Structures are given as structure tokens and as C-alpha cells.
Amino acid sequence: MISLPTSVDLFGKMASITPNPSRRTILICSNGFYLRVNDDAIDGVTDIQDENIVLEMHSVAIGEIVLFGEKSMKYIAMDNDGNLITTSSLVHTCVFKEKHLTTGYNTYESKANAGWYLGLTIKGTPKRGPKTSPGQNAVSFLTGDAP
């Protein structure tokens, strides 16, 4: 378990945050891949035994979360070009708006880049934010218990 900072740089201003307890989880994309956070990249794998699929999901506000790779010790972020990246620092681009769908799936929209979603292609590669939209299989995830 990690300790989150009490403030975060949000658009050039320091904002106080009080994270709620984390959930240890895995994210399963509707196209069959487990979201994996390596030291320097994000992708999808089909191996449930891969240690890099275990995530800590931290609530930072109502409906807003950050995702942290337990083994890699990296956060998931979306840069201004819509690329999914890893970072050691908790910054505003790490915050995603979690939406629970009636289908049982969840989507994770970038707070910094509205309309861009966390997603994996049918090959398991990260899908760029500008290529995503609600309703795509690529952006629909189930949460599961970490192995």
C-alpha cells in the first residue's frame, strides 16, 4: 500500500486532496485484455498471473480515481496528445472520472482531457484518447479481485 500526497498540482495550482482508502483490483477490458502497468508502458495482456496487472485504485474525489501499478510503482496518466503513459508522480493527468454503466462495465474518462478515455485496442495496445468514445468495447472495463 502506498501513501498518497495531501496535495496535487492541478492545472498549475496546488489543490488539497484527501484520498479515500484504496481498492486493490485488476481491470479487464471488454475485448479480453487485463490492463498492465509496466515501468515505462501500459498495455493489455491475457495472462492473469502477470504481476503487473495488479492495481491500486484510489478515490481522490467523488467519482474521480487514480490508478497505481502495485509492482511497477507507477501511476497511469494521459498526456495532452492522448497517449497513456506511466509516471512516478501524482499529477492532474493521472485523474480519471469513473463511470459505472448499466451493463456492469466501467469507463475511465481523463479529467484533464474531457472526452478521452482509458482504452485498449483489440491487439492489447493502448488506444489514444482522441480515438476513444463512450460505448466502444476498448473503453469498457470490469473490475476484478486481484490475484
Q: For 45-56, how does the pLDDT look when each residue is reduced to its tens digit (9 = 90+)?
A: 999 999 999 999
For residue 19, the model assigns a pLDDT of 52
What residue has cell string 491500486?
56
Q: Which CATH number fits domain 20-145: 2.80.10.50, 3.40.50.620, 3.40.50.2020, 1.10.1660.10?
A: 2.80.10.50
In angstroms, how far is CA 140 from the centroid of its own chain? 12
Grid cell digits, residue 57 = 485504485
Lowest mean pLDDT among 9-18, 69-78, 94-103: 9-18
Residue type for 88, please? S
Mean pLDDT of all residues belonging to the chain? 91
Percent of the chain with pLDDT over 70: 86
Burial 3-27 (b: 16+ CB within 10 A, else e): ebeeebeeeeeeeebebeebeebbb
Domain ranges, ordered by start, for the chain: 20-145
Q: What is the pLDDT of residues 18-40, one digit of tens each?
A: 555 689 999 999 999 999 999 99
Percent of the chain with pLDDT over 90: 83
Name the pTM for this structure. 0.86
For residue 1, the model assigns a pLDDT of 46
Higher local confidence (pLDDT), 75 or 8 = 75
Grid cell digits, residue 46 = 491475457
Residue 99 DSSP code: E
